[in-house]
Structure 1
Amino acid sequence: MTQRRANTGNRVTTVLARQLGGQLLAFREAAGLNQSRAAEALSSQTAKVGKMEQGWVPFRDPDIIALCKLYAVEDDEVVADLLRLAKLDRERRKAKGWWNALDQGNLREYIAMEDAALKMRAWQLSLVPGLFQTPDYTRSMVVPDIATDDIGHIEQIVDVRRRRQARLYGDDPLQVHAVIWEAALRQLIGGRQTMGKQLAHLRELTELTNVQIQVLPFRAGGYPGVGGPFNILSFAEEGAVDVVHMDGLRSTVWVEGAEESAAYAGLFGRLCAVSLSPYDSVQLIESIGKEMSA
């Protein structure tokens, strides 16, 4: 499956632009043309075509139309989808939000996508999902990875998580369906008191109509998804393909493309099938929480 970093140096690339660039690249290769021929059609340098195909620049509608004509893409709906995707990408690039002040470009892109998403499906093996974490849980989780004298950075991470969690509330909340391995609920991040409060918070979140939590119990035995945690972000806009994100403290990896996202959606479905029902998951969360406070 295709995996790409979210940024390189000072250049800016976006998930949507990479999707669009990848489609245009496929059309060019299918037409048997090189980048030089495409550049001639745009009256530009070859380097511009390369940047477009890798998603480093926003797309102009006239350029998309010219390239589709060159590549003999005659389906009006296909061209219209490309134009919609380009417009959506331009709007995303111009969008302003609190995340624009963050130092990490890859984290900025992820939060911007999360803010615009309609739905998230999340799979976690060893940690409570970031959108569900309490401040003390987050602090306890990141302290081992950060120098003890960098308290300011720790609090910045906590604040970013807190701001992201605002998407769970309000008039148009993010729809979240999370599957969490039982190990994440029993791992003593921060000790019994911190975990007890974290589990109580999880229980409270299940009362939100936009949050659904399933627990994959130990007794399920072998299970799909051992390769690692991931988030699938879905969008309301026509032409926006689901994107899959692997979360990290300092890096962001995207899995892109319709086939790849469909594969992860299928994997998530299989995880749901072998997990406890939402009701039974709540019962287990409460049971483990009582163990923590005993």
Structure 2
Amino acid sequence: MHGERPSSAPSTVLGRQLGDELRTMRERAGLTTAVVAVELDCTKGKISRIENGRSPVRGPDLTAMLRLYGVDEQAVQARLAELARTANKRRRGSGWWSEYGDVLADTYRDFIELEAAASSVRTFQSQMIPALLQTPDYARALTVAGRRWKKPEEIEQFVTVRLIRQNRLTAEDPLSVWVVLAEGALRQQVGGQDVMKAQLDHLARSADMPNVTVQVVPFRVGAHASMAGPYVILGFPSEAAMDVVLLDNPSGSMWLEGVKEVEAYQGLWDDVRTKALSPVESLELINSIKEFGA
């Protein structure tokens, strides 16, 4: 894909999300960066760096900006303050995932951080069940097969991280997850028949959750645009915040943040979800494969 340059390690993605919202609020208030800089007693460059996600936003500055922009809704103030804290923690290398730094790549830590701030996940997977819906045994079998970690304790740490991530599905403000799977992902015998049967059972139960949608693209659909590989689209609470796309491969992960790239994958997503079976038909297929095997 061509267009704006993708980011391979978006340590400032959360900062950019916050900056985008602050820029929108400033423009809505009819203020220039020069005016804001005077009010905050700083340079125009600092305001620009904040809006581009390149500089952290201190609590007093955020409070002053929101007051200047006429944003008095407490819920909005609290959400942006939490977003700023999360972005600043990433810059300082903190967060619960930092406890597992020995087994997590930088891009995976970035992904976990973004997932924590996201309101929705849309993903197409061609070969495996996505991490948020994996059982421990299935996740363990994938981790062993990946051959990146040899020590049992490292493998268990990686599996633990995946299970902790799943807490977002049952949190007070649960993550909305929409999964489209190629039929092959249901039939690949990861971990053997018993592990796979338990995984399909878990997938079927997860599909009954109000915030989880599961669809399957059956083999009979034939060729479709998403066959080039799996992807994840993260969405965020604010309408002004940009979606982010993650592409994963054995040599590493790539983030796409440019408008053209993201729109292209949104188009792929719309195409594949319309070609997939309905959630009800998908559940019937999952249960059929679980009962009668591949």
Q: Deviations over 1:90-139 (max 9, x none)?
A: 43323564123231332222111101111111110001111011111111
1:91 matched to which residue of 2?
A: 85
2:153 matched to which residue of 1?
A: 152
Residue 102 in 1 paired to residue 100 in 2?
yes
Is the Cα contact below 8 Å between 2:118 and 2:237 reproduced in 1? yes
Is the Cα contact below 8 Å between 2:6 and 2:258 reproduced in 1? no
Is the Cα contact below 8 Å between 2:123 and 2:180 reproduced in 1? yes
1:269 matched to which residue of 2?
A: 270
Q: Structure 1 CA distance, aligned partners of 2:148 and 2:264? A: 38
1:169 matched to which residue of 2?
A: 170
Query: Which of 56, 59, 62 does residue 58 from structure 1 map onto?
Result: 56
Shift of 1:54: 8.7
Shift of 1:250: 7.8
Q: Structure 2 CA distance, aligned partners of 1:228 and 1:18? A: 27
Is the Cα contact below 8 Å between 2:231 and 2:245 reproduced in 1? yes
Q: Secondary structure at the match of 1:237?
A: coil
Relative distance call for 1:5 and 1:56 in structure 2 (3 A) is farther
Relative distance call for 1:250 and 1:87 in structure 2 (3 A) is farther
Q: Structure 1 CA distance, aligned partners of 2:87 and 2:100? A: 15
2:283 matched to which residue of 1?
A: 282
Residue 220 in 1 paired to residue 221 in 2?
yes
Q: Structure 1 CA distance, aligned partners of 2:222 and 2:161? A: 35
Q: Secondary structure at the match of 1:121?
A: strand
Unaligned runs of 5+ in 1: 8-12, 25-40, 62-75, 77-83
Shift of 1:249: 7.4
Q: Structure 2 CA distance, aligned partners of 1:250 and 1:130? A: 19
Shift of 1:245: 1.2
Deviates more, 1:170-179 or 1:91-100: 91-100
Q: Structure 1 CA distance, aligned partners of 2:158 and 2:181? A: 22
Unaligned runs of 5+ in 2: 24-41, 60-68, 70-76
TM-score by length of structure 2 reads: 0.73
The equivalences for 1:1-294 within 5 A come to: 1=3, 2-6=5-9, 13-17=11-15, 57-58=55-56, 90-95=84-89, 97-103=95-101, 104-146=105-147, 149-247=150-248, 251-292=252-293
Sequence identity percentage: 38
Is the Cα contact below 8 Å between 1:14 and 1:109 reproduced in 2? no
Is the Cα contact below 8 Å between 2:125 and 2:229 reproduced in 1? yes
Is the Cα contact below 8 Å between 1:107 and 1:251 reproduced in 2? no
Q: Secondary structure at the match of 1:172?
A: coil
1:102 aligned partner, one-letter code: Y
Is the Cα contact below 8 Å between 1:143 and 1:154 reproduced in 2? yes
Q: Structure 2 CA distance, aligned partners of 1:204 and 1:15? A: 33
Q: Structure 2 CA distance, aligned partners of 1:113 and 1:269? A: 22
Q: Structure 2 CA distance, aligned partners of 1:266 and 1:109? A: 24
TM-score by length of structure 1 reads: 0.73
Q: Secondary structure at the match of 2:227?
A: coil
Shift of 1:185: 0.4
Shift of 1:149: 4.4
Is the Cα contact below 8 Å between 1:119 and 1:235 reproduced in 2? yes
- How many matched pairs? 251
Q: Secondary structure at the match of 1:6?
A: coil
Shift of 1:153: 1.1
